[in-house]
Amino acid sequence: MAKKSKTETTKKRVANAAKTGVDTVRDIAGQAIRAAAVAAAGVALHRTAQALRGGARTAEGAAAQPLPPARPQARRATRRAQAKKAAARPAKKKASRRRLSR
């Protein structure tokens, strides 16, 4: 058997330690991702349930109350009323145009 130098054995030990560390980090990251996914799904389901409950309450309330009486449609302002409004407003100044003299 050939002798191995101390540097080679140290390299192998460091590489093995790094591999073990990477595996550990990978496991922890996977667990964190799973926990985040479960939490996000829980929040989404909770919010959806709240929205559905709120919609059901609104539908029940709308069905329980009678409709308000229909209002008559507003008539368009007559020409006379439009003229009164126009008279009440201040008049706009007309821009004076100068003619160029030649």
Q: Rounded to two decimals, what is the model's pTM?
A: 0.39
Amino acid at 63: A
* pLDDT tens profile 61-76: 666 666 667 766 666 6
pLDDT at 74: 60
**Which pair of tokens denotes residue 42?**
């829980």
Amino acid at 61: G
Q: Which residues of the chain are modeled with pLDDT < 70?
A: 1-3, 56-68, 71-77, 91-102
Q: DSSP readout, 58-97?
A: HHHHHHHSPPPPPPPPPPPPPHHHHHHHHHHSPPPPPPP-
pLDDT at 1: 46
